[in-house]
Chain A
Amino acid sequence: MFPSRRHAPSFTLLSVVLIALIVAGTALWSSDDESVRQPPRISARHAQIDVLDGPQRQQRVQLDLTLFVPSSTPAPAVVLAHGFTGDESDLAGPARRLAARGFTVLTYSSRGFGDSTGKIALNSPDYEVTDARQLLDWMARQPEIATQDEGDPLVGVGGTSYGGALSMLLAGSDPRVDAIAPMATYNDLSETMLPNAASRNPIPASTAAHGAEGVPGVFRHLWARKLFEMATGDPTSGSTSPPSTTSSSSTAPPPSTAPGDEPLTCENFVEQLCRAYTELARTGEAGESTSRMLAAASPSSVTDNIDVPTLLVQRQDNALFGLEQADANARQITAAGGTVKMLWVDERAGRGFPPSVWEQVGDWFSRHLHEAGGARGDRPTASFSYQLAEKTDEGSETERSTLVAERYPGLEEKSVPRFALPLRGGATKVINPPGGSANSPPAPRNNDSAEEDGASSGVATSPPNTPSPEGDERPAAQTAVFESRRSEQDVRITGVPQTELSVTSVPGQPGDDTAVLFARLLDVGPDGSRTPLGGSSAAIRVTDLAENGAPGTVDVALPPTVHTLKSGHRLRLRLSTTDAAYSSPEEAAVHRVAPAGRNTISLPSVPAEPVEETSPPYGALIGIGTFTILIIAGTVLAIRFERSRRRPPEPELTHVPLSVEGVGKSYPRSPDAVRDLSVRVEPGQIVGLLGPNGAGKTTLLRIVLGLTRAEEGRVRIFGHGITPSAPVLSRVGGVVESPGLLPHLTGLENLRSHWEATGRPLEQARLDEVVRIAALGEFANHKARTYGPGMRQRVALAQAMLGMPDLLVLDEPMNALDPAHTQRMREVIREYASTGRSVLLSSHLLDEVEKTCTHVVVLREGRRVAGGTTEELIAADSVTAFHVDQPERAARTLEGIEGIGKVEVRSDAVYAELAGHPTALAVNALVNSEVSINRVGPHRKLEDAFLELVGEER
């Protein structure tokens, strides 16, 4: 054996472990695991600060604020402004999230909200914006906040709804703001309160969600009423929803009376706002001062001054602040030189934005406030993304996927692609019922929850007094319906669909020169199912109609939506004269409407790629791949190595069943278990290893069977060197130490299972024969665990003989056998050898060896002390013992016999090698010399030697 061979496997193991550690370490660390990162420590600090505002800056207001401080300061700051009716606690969650990303985050209650004093002035430049500027002053003095210059904090401003507008108003009036993230907010307040989706002028089609931006339209009284209720702290509605989720405005009970009839107590509003509100609620129109006030409170007044990076987040189906508001903001800020990223999210339910949106806000501020490359979050930022919500086939569940485009089209370069669907339907007369919106049915029209239920209910637009649920084809009804052709392909509608309508007065019918209509777009499936698109109706107000019925053509911006129009579906444009959310004219009127111009609906469709929200775990995959390859390579190498170790058989020994030459083996506890031992077994021999316990018999047998490796010397079976599980061992059967039976199987099953494990054909096993030889009898069918030692031994012997191996190796075969079975087993072994096969057995019983074996090897302390044929050891070398009364005399007499061998006197007897002389001769000689003989018998050297060994042991 070469020493290197024994060490080779440990090198393999070592290298595998090393490579494993390196690969695993790299791969695991390279792939980011959020769950393990330590939660950063964030402390919150409450404060009240006094600010001066008002037209003359003389009103003192106390603002309630909280500062969320990250573990490492000074840090860039982020101001988060809450929505209408909220307070600073609304945004505590997002604030902590941003603070965890290394920002000092300030949330505060705007004047009139929360614990802050003062009255609401609706983001007036004199009030709220002034307050915010003084907040920046205060922040610049705080040690936790990084500054750029004296009094100039490094700060980003974000906010939802009302607060989002504030972020823009502040950025437009204070150059210290470095980045903003207005969310779900407006561009022009008068457009959202008095929307008009119709315009005499062509609506630009370059951007996806361009609104009509027409003359003031129809008062959204439901929302205004709600706003009022919230601001006056009406307990029934103040806690439900801010206007940022105005889609839910329709869930509030519609007014039972006209809003103008309600008493107004503007306790929370500044006087100017109170007057404006009262005017709007009473007349549904904005006077000059009101218009001025709304304009000043609108971000549109300052967007030409905003050149900081802006992240616009807008809800896709928001009824109040629609996508067209974000579109306008984006256009105006881009024109002013700001960078705009646009994010449309599909969030109908819930008042807040989901964490993923706030993470994007954090990304945005990280990108623009943290030092370049210094912080996380420098992921590539797409300039425009929107979410596609698709109803799955099974109903209520929506699958949402985010799609990303490189930029929001139409801002700087090419326009948004548009699809045109032809619109069919003749001119239809529509009636505005007297009383306007007061006659509107209370529910469930224009109700989001009803709309989500699909077409089964709730889309009927006619009031209950109109029996037909649709009223579609009636020549005169409250509703006009036009349908498009079926779409021939899937069209992804992203933004504001546009169409052209002609609206005319009908001579002879009531009605003035102004028509008010509410437009709604529905997706009609091939099976007639209808899905309304967008969060609310688009209010259309057409003025200056010719009395004589000459057509007035308007461009109409339909409700913004993000929706996939499947092929085979068609669009239905529904125009009705009433809508619960709006004030419609009280006078009865009849108008005729018809598609006009190109008679199409133009659908914006921004091409975008779906974004994988997580990148594939490349690190781990590469790691697994590397590892698989390494393991395969290692296996191949190991097999080659194994093959290269095979040696050809020794030609001279191919017919020698067993040849053991100079074998040695030591164990830690017994240094020389076997030393320099040589044994040879020829065909037909039964060789017995004789020795006391511990002489090394079993160790030798283990080495022969390849269970134990010899440290020196060679073992060959039929000339083949023995290594663990060398194939030639298949010609050897054996019993070593104890029988090994599976306790849950019967003896017979054990034999069969063992043979099956060899994979050799069953007919070679000669099972029946072996069972008969071993005399297993009926016990063969009992479970092995019930066997006594004798039966176990017999089954083990039978197992060893399965297949009639050429060499049987038996360790103490007669152990535990009763005399009858011992006798029988002896015969079996002798018979076995007589067929030319060989047997090597061990025993510590001389008698046993003598009766069974043809050859004997005597072992003592691991060494061979004697060996030869049994005959030789018993007969040829044997001496005769004479037990006599006078040993000395007897010895002299015997020595006198001619040709006699050695004579020895021991205590009780004389031992003589008669060397061929008959015993009678010696007896005669002794009798003649008057020695009286007690007993004469053979005395064997073998026994002598053996007893000597045993005696030593004792």
Chain B
Amino acid sequence: MRGKSDLAPEAVEEIGRTSGADGSAPGYRANRTLPLNVELRRQLSRKRTRVVLGCLIALPALLIAAFALGGDGRPGQRATDLGDLAVLNGSNFAVFTLLLCTHLLLVLTVALFFGDAVASESSWASLRYLATIPVPRHRLLRQKAIVAGLLSGLGLCVLALSALAMGTAWYGTGALITPDNGVLTGPWSAFVLPAVCGYLAVHLTWVASLALLFSVSTSNPLAAVGASVGISVLSQLLDNISRLGELRLLLPTHHATAWVDLLDSRIDWTSMANGALSATVYASVFTTAALVRFQRSDITS
């Protein structure tokens, strides 16, 4: 019979060999399951990931084209809007691109990577196979979140660098010009763009954790992404209602554009610190909720 030859003789000897007191198989260590590089490869091999990153790279080109179509030359000396300043040089263009993307596109990107993280495994029915490896659930969530975070960070950097590169290629180099017509020079100017990205990364943790919470709550990736973006949009909507007064401080998106304060030779950190705090608090709550929910719930799909 062929079956005999399929199973090697030594298979018999291996039975019952365990590696530790917890009764696990030889070579199994809970904290080595689902290594980051494996998960990263799983995600990077998806067309979705590549399309999103590609879109982020291409977006600045679209903006430049839009400027070229609608533009009527360079603005005068008294341009006070970041949009007017965008065409002056590469750094300004990069900053403007980030400003444009803060409210929706970056939120969408982050929600996509995080909301998709667990829900897509659910939808492929592969989540239960990861759980029976077994990858401990908190570890599963952590590795997924880290990879989603890396991809989101990559997206952010790709967008900023692409905008800087294309802006520089199209509009030329130059020091960052701030809305009050100051020029940022000196060592700080080199750190403005990274600092903006850094703040955005901190700020967007709230969307990330919310998307993660939705991701473990549903087996439909689109629903998780859509719900997170929807809540962000809702928060921005409420933020525009001035009647709410100081209550708006509690909205997660209230400090979304606080990084604009960085574009100044004298930086007021208050708003950004508040934004960081707000994001941290929301992220902690949502992450805890996601962990608790994922740990407690049965994996049904």
B partners with A: yes
Residues of A700-754 contacting chain B, CB below 8 A: 702, 705-709, 717-720, 724-734, 736-745, 749, 753-754
Highest count of chain B CB atoms <10 Å: which of A16, A725, A742, A803: A725
Interface-forming stretch among B59-67, B101-109, B127-135, B150-158?
B127-135
Residues of B within 8 A of A832 (CB): 7
Residues of B within 8 A of A773 (CB): 6-7
Contact A707-B289, Cβ < 8 Å, known A760-B28, A804-B14, A837-B15: no
Q: Is there an interface contact between B7 and A835, defined as CB atoms closer than 8 Å? A: yes
Q: Is there an interface contact between A623 and B277, defined as CB atoms closer than 8 Å? A: yes
Residues of A582-631 contacting chain B, CB below 8 A: 613-614, 616-617, 619-621, 623-624, 627-628, 630-631
Q: Does A761 contact B (CB under 8 A)?
A: yes
Q: Does B77 contact A (CB under 8 A)?
A: no
Q: Is there an interface contact between A799 and B277, defined as CB atoms closer than 8 Å? A: no
Q: Mark A36-59, 1 if CB is under 8 A from B, else 0.
A: 111000000000000000000000
Contact of A772 among B6, B26, B282 (CB under 8 A): B6
Complex formed: what's the CA distance from A709 to B25 in Å?
A: 22
Output the least CB separation between B19 and chain A (Å): 9
Output the least CB separation between B130 and chain A (Å): 6
Contact A707-B298, Cβ < 8 Å, known A397-B185, A756-B35: yes
Q: Mark A823-839, 1 if CB is under 8 A from B, else 0.
A: 00001101110011100
Complex formed: what's the CA distance from A27 to B18 in Å?
A: 52
Q: Is there an interface contact between B273 and A31, defined as CB atoms closer than 8 Å? A: yes
Q: Does B51 contact A (CB under 8 A)?
A: no
> Which of under 10, 10 to 19, 20 to 34, or 35 or more describes the interface residues of B?
35 or more
Residue of B whose beta carbon sits closest to that of A805: B25
Q: Is there an interface contact between A702 and B298, defined as CB atoms closer than 8 Å? A: yes
Complex formed: what's the CA distance from A732 to B8 in Å?
A: 19
Residue of A whose beta carbon sits closest to that of B6: A773
Q: Is there an interface contact between B14 and A20, defined as CB atoms closer than 8 Å? A: no
Q: Does B126 contact A (CB under 8 A)?
A: yes
Residues of B within 8 A of A705 (CB): 128, 131-132
Q: Is there an interface contact between B274 and A759, defined as CB atoms closer than 8 Å? A: no
Residues of B110-160 contacting chain A, CB below 8 A: 121, 124-137
Residues of B within 8 A of A708 (CB): 298-300
Q: Does A394 contact B (CB under 8 A)?
A: yes
Complex formed: what's the CA distance from A720 to B134 in Å?
A: 14
Q: Is there an interface contact between B125 and A737, defined as CB atoms closer than 8 Å? A: yes
Q: Is there an interface contact between B295 and A724, defined as CB atoms closer than 8 Å? A: yes
Contact of B33 among A24, A706, A757, A764 (CB under 8 A): A757
Q: Does B78 contact A (CB under 8 A)?
A: no
Q: Does A865 contact B (CB under 8 A)?
A: no
Residues of B237-280 contacting chain A, CB below 8 A: 242, 245-246, 248-250, 265-266, 268-274, 276-278, 280
Residues of A within 8 A of B296 (CB): 6, 9
Residue of A whose beta carbon sits closest to that of B258: A35
Residue of B whose beta carbon sits closest to that of A729: B134
Q: Does B58 contact A (CB under 8 A)?
A: no
Residues of A within 8 A of B21 (CB): 648-649
Output the least CB separation between A97 and chain B (Å): 17
Complex formed: what's the CA distance from A36 to B242 in Å?
A: 8
Q: Does A806 contact B (CB under 8 A)?
A: yes
Contact of A627 among B32, B34, B271, B280 (CB under 8 A): B280
Output the least CB separation between B286 and chain A (Å): 10
Residues of A within 8 A of B165 (CB): none
Q: Does B55 contact A (CB under 8 A)?
A: no
Residues of B within 8 A of A764 (CB): 26-27
Q: Is there an interface contact between B136 and A725, defined as CB atoms closer than 8 Å? A: yes
Q: Is there an interface contact between A738 and B125, defined as CB atoms closer than 8 Å? A: yes
Q: Is there an interface contact between A33 and B135, defined as CB atoms closer than 8 Å? A: no
Complex formed: what's the CA distance from A616 to B271 in Å?
A: 10
Q: Does A149 contact B (CB under 8 A)?
A: no
Complex formed: what's the CA distance from A33 to B278 in Å?
A: 13
List 16 interface pairs A-B (beta carbons < 8 Å), by A numbering.
Answer: A9-B292, A20-B284, A25-B250, A31-B274, A33-B246, A614-B268, A616-B273, A617-B270, A705-B131, A720-B23, A726-B134, A728-B23, A745-B45, A756-B38, A761-B27, A769-B7
- Since A731-B18, A741-B124, A743-B124 are in contact, a sample of 6 more A-B pairs with Cβ atoms closer than 8 Å, ordered by chain A residue number, is A620-B274, A627-B284, A727-B20, A727-B22, A737-B125, A741-B126
Interface residues of B (CB under 8 A from A): 1-4, 6-8, 11-12, 14-16, 18, 20-30, 32-35, 38-39, 41-42, 45-47, 121, 124-137, 175, 182-183, 185-186, 242, 245-246, 248-250, 265-266, 268-274, 276-278, 280-282, 284-285, 288-289, 292, 295-296, 298-300
Give the 7 A-B residue pairs with the shortest CB-CB distance, closest first: A759-B32, A740-B126, A620-B273, A617-B273, A725-B134, A740-B125, A728-B23
